[in-house]
Structure 1
Amino acid sequence: MSAKVPRRQEITSSGMADWATLQTDIVGIIIKKLAIPDYIRFRAVCTSWNHVCKDVSYSPRVDPWLMLPQNPNPLGAQFFCIPEKKNQNIRLPSTASFFGSVWAPVGSLNGWLIYFSQTYGTMQLVNPISGSQIQLPPIGRRTFAKAKLLEMNERNFIVAVLYGDEKGYKITRKGSNNWSSVESKHILDDIIKHRGRLYTCDMYGTVELWAEPPRAWPDEEVTHQWRFRCLVETPAGDLVRVKRQSQNKFAVCTLDKGTFSWVETDNIGDLALFVSHYNSFCFPAKDHPNLKANCIYFIDIHNSLCAFNLEHSTKELVETLEIGPGRNDHYYRRPQRDQLLWFIPSLKCGTVELWAEPPRAWPDEEVTHQWRFRCLVETPAGDLVRVKRQSQNKFAVCTLDKGTFSWVETDNIGDLALFVSHYNSFCFPAKDHPNLKANCIYFIDIHNSLCAFNLEHSTKELVETLEIGPGRNDHYYRRPQRDQLLWFIPSLK
């Protein structure tokens, strides 16, 4: 019978606590209190913590984020996290493609964003946390009012598009190669999937259940000046209709399941509603710092984040957003407050760089353009190595000092061998591998030969003359031929 693990944290000989030995239940309690950005960092601390994070019973706190307008921010997309009252920056795998002038975010659901390119007439689904992307069928360059992700799960996804000047909507789903058109009596303001059925809200406030025959609830009060209506599903499965009555006033109705009629209410309990032109959702306020229950979060005409209290019918300033001047091009024809959308991050599948502050940078003391080649390589021991090409046949290697966070040049990497190329580079132990030499850098020279550069003696040795044929000159191969090669480690996994 194994000895019982003491709950008290063990102390190492250096007097430091060994955090990796924290009990699983304690780590689980910590995880549940972390926001997703902190959870990602937490998961990267050590192997034992990462193992606990894989347990589905331990999930981080999920917060609503506000996606701010696009800007030339080099860190990527910018989100404002309400509970923490700070910005989060996310860099995607294809930042230039998605956050440049071509693509614009137009919707969000379950951790996914909808991007539209009027230039190409196409749409894509993007998960900013995992970096996953899904291409949708071409939809054309015509400007639309709203795109809604009605369903997103492992088996299926459904996307609908509403036009502000045309009745009906277009819809597509997983596996479809085109968009289907559906007619309606009036121009639609919103659409939602609730309990497996579609509901729409038209320009006159009428909510319609798309069944056979369709059931409709006309709006008693038709207002055009502040025409904003949306449908939201609560965590309990109830359907809520939100209507903007003036600049700073909203009305909320819930659908009575027995009579199928709308009942106005000023009490939604512990819930908070988040509304915007592109998307709206409902969120429990408990266990989320700075979130207020029974409130509607919205952007006012001054581009400030505000909360409307349903019980007292009062508006409160939450945060003054620094979102810069408005855009006037064809992607942004609406008021700037309507360029913002709400977003709930999701950890499903994959990883992504998440920067809450500017990253640490180490400028290169010697800038060389003629032989500009630099790469970063991680050793089997977890150290970070920087390789720089100084001339045709000479390299310099630096290791990152973990204590001072500075680069230290070295001519000794021990039993390791470095393999570098334009496309990929890695580190490999030389022992037990015949014909591999330790403390060497393997590379392709200008004669397309495989060579080894000895770090200790600063000498080059020919390893093999490669017969790789003549170079290619088309647009896929504009680099020297030696840079068309890459290293590869075969695997049976």
Structure 2
Amino acid sequence: MAAWSDLTNDALEYITNFLSFPDRYRFGAVCRNWRSVSKSKRYPPTPQLPWLVVEEEKETRKRKFYSLSDDKHYSIDIPELHDRYICGSSHGWLFAVDIKITGILINPFTRQYFELPRFPPFYKDEDVDTLIEEVPSDYVGGPRNYTFEEMQIRIVSKAILSHDPKERSDFTAMIMFGEMNTPAFWRPGDLCWTVVDGQKGSLYDIIYFKGNFYVLSPVNVLFLVDFEPEPKLREVGPQLELEGDAQEQYLIDFDGNLLLIERFCECVEKNKITTTGFNVTEPNLEENILYEWYDIDGCALFVGRNSSIYVNASHFPKCKKNGIYFTHITDPLDVCDDLGVYDMTDKKISKFYSVEVFPTPVGSPVWLTPNPW
């Protein structure tokens, strides 16, 4: 049998194609040549299970990540993320907000990042500085003023990318921000966020699908973000007739099919909400018909503040087929420990993470697909 050290780079590059991210990193630590091979892009890397970005460690300020594939934690020192609140992920990149209500877009494994402009005001036509005041704990009703710490975790409810910035420099970042989840976008070189007009009520979710951004309104109408001549929302379908009253809804590109995921919750006590189930449908916008999906072809979905992700669960022994993995709902401080996986087959919810996790001012758990290559 030939020694590993005698294998050609071509053979080694082919082998790395089948390694998980942690194993590929260990492979690269063997020697200088293997490190070079581990960074090769000659063969596309094997699909990866999303990681969970859990929290910032108080003493070291390292970011703790949880790998579902090997059931292990990894603590990584990423100074650019110190004291920043992670408000979304897309294509393996994280959106993070600091105390000054500015943000960065960063790939945590390559450390490549983009500085983002200050986010628009939380309330329409109001300057954010006028809202930073202490408010009594028993404040009830009406628009309230937030401290910078409170604004940091509420200003952006969702953030996604059109493309991987490592692959395309002409990407677009789209966020939903403020009281009404208003859409706004930024492109490299822009000095500020551009707010999209035409919004009718607060929004649920946003997706980049087949070359366009779409947003979903709470009255179950899908809108397309039309950039020309002026950015605005354009209705592209009739109102969808949904059953029940979902707490949250997500849009996902499932192998070229646009799926709508409804998430149902119940209030177990004051300001404590827990997930009770999901429903998956495929909207036909022309006929205003919803086709219910009773399974997802043995795949698994990952929803939360991230761009919704799906993987072929048969490739990962520890991944539940027809499972919907979920993190906390949008409001990061009004929930209890609400991480779990919903089985579409038996309609039961179980834990995939043994540690109780409660949102903190520097992070609610967010799904992230490792993208270091």
TM-score norm. by structure 1 comes to: 0.58
Match of residue 257 from structure 2: 238
Secondary structure at 2:12 match in 1: helix
1:417-428 paired onto structure 2 within 5 Å: none
Match of residue 241 from structure 2: 220
Match of residue 57 from structure 2: 71
Aligned mates of 2:214, 2:344 — CA distance in 1: 24
Distance 1:305 1:213, change over 3 A: closer
Aligned mates of 1:179, 1:269 — CA distance in 2: 39
Match of residue 266 from structure 1: 294
Aligned residue type for 2:237: A
Q: Is the 8 A contact 1:168 1:182 kept in 2?
A: yes
Q: Which moved more, 1:313-322 or 1:21-30?
A: 21-30
Distance 1:182 1:257, change over 3 A: closer
Match of residue 105 from structure 2: 125
Aligned residue type for 2:324: I
Q: Report the CA distance between 1:254 and its aligned residue.
A: 1.8
Match of residue 341 from structure 2: 307
Distance 1:248 1:26, change over 3 A: farther
Q: Is the 8 A contact 2:120 2:193 kept in 1?
A: no
Deviations 1:216-260 (A, max 9, x none): 342423755x521111112x2221111013422100112448757
Distance 1:23 1:174, change over 3 A: same
Match of residue 126 from structure 2: none
Deviations 1:307-333 (A, max 9, x none): 21213222232222243x553x5x67x
1:91-170 paired onto structure 2 within 5 Å: 91-92=77-78, 95=79, 97-100=80-83, 103-117=84-98, 119-140=99-120, 142=122, 143=151, 144-153=155-164, 154-163=168-177, 165-166=179-180, 168-170=182-184
Aligned residue type for 1:307: V
Secondary structure at 1:188 match in 2: coil
Aligned mates of 2:202, 2:108 — CA distance in 1: 32
Q: Which moved more, 1:194-203 or 1:210-219?
A: 210-219
Match of residue 176 from structure 1: 190
Distance 1:299 1:114, change over 3 A: closer
Q: Report the CA distance between 1:146 and its aligned residue.
A: 1.3
Match of residue 56 from structure 1: 42
Aligned mates of 1:169, 1:61 — CA distance in 2: 31
Distance 1:58 1:152, change over 3 A: closer
Distance 1:127 1:73, change over 3 A: farther
- Say which of 22, 33, 41 aligns to 2:7: 22
Aligned mates of 2:184, 2:44 — CA distance in 1: 39
Match of residue 186 from structure 1: 201
Distance 1:314 1:61, change over 3 A: same
TM-score norm. by structure 2 comes to: 0.75
Aligned mates of 1:347, 1:145 — CA distance in 2: 25
Match of residue 211 from structure 2: 196
Q: Report the CA distance between 1:208 and its aligned residue.
A: 2.5
Aligned mates of 1:342, 1:298 — CA distance in 2: 9
Q: Report the CA distance between 1:215 and its aligned residue.
A: 1.2
Matched pairs, number: 316
Deviations 1:184-206 (A, max 9, x none): 11211111110011211122333
Q: Report the CA distance between 1:26 and its aligned residue.
A: 5.1
- State yes or no: 1:32 paired with 2:17: yes
Distance 1:166 1:274, change over 3 A: same
Q: Report the CA distance between 1:286 and its aligned residue.
A: 2.5
Aligned residue type for 2:58: P
Which structure: larger Rg?
Answer: 1
Match of residue 220 from structure 2: 205
Match of residue 88 from structure 1: 74
Aligned mates of 2:299, 2:161 — CA distance in 1: 21
Aligned residue type for 2:210: R
Q: Is the 8 A contact 2:158 2:205 kept in 1?
A: no
Q: Report the CA distance between 1:131 and its aligned residue.
A: 0.7
Aligned residue type for 1:19: W
Q: Which moved more, 1:197-206 or 1:183-192?
A: 197-206
Match of residue 421 from structure 1: none
Q: Which moved more, 1:178-187 or 1:166-175?
A: 166-175
Match of residue 343 from structure 1: 368
Aligned mates of 1:37, 1:203 — CA distance in 2: 40
Q: Is the 8 A contact 2:300 2:313 kept in 1?
A: yes
Distance 1:277 1:205, change over 3 A: farther
Distance 1:149 1:277, change over 3 A: closer
Aligned mates of 1:239, 1:248 — CA distance in 2: 23
- Say which of 303, 309, 316 aligns to 2:350: 316
Aligned residue type for 1:163: F
Question: Unpaired runs of 5+ in structure 1?
Answer: 1-7, 10-17, 333-338, 349-493
Aligned mates of 1:307, 1:116 — CA distance in 2: 28
Structure with larger RCO (C-alpha < 8 A, sep 6+): 2
Secondary structure at 2:353 match in 1: strand
Distance 1:222 1:209, change over 3 A: farther
Aligned residue type for 1:98: L
Aligned mates of 1:206, 1:29 — CA distance in 2: 46
Aligned residue type for 2:353: E
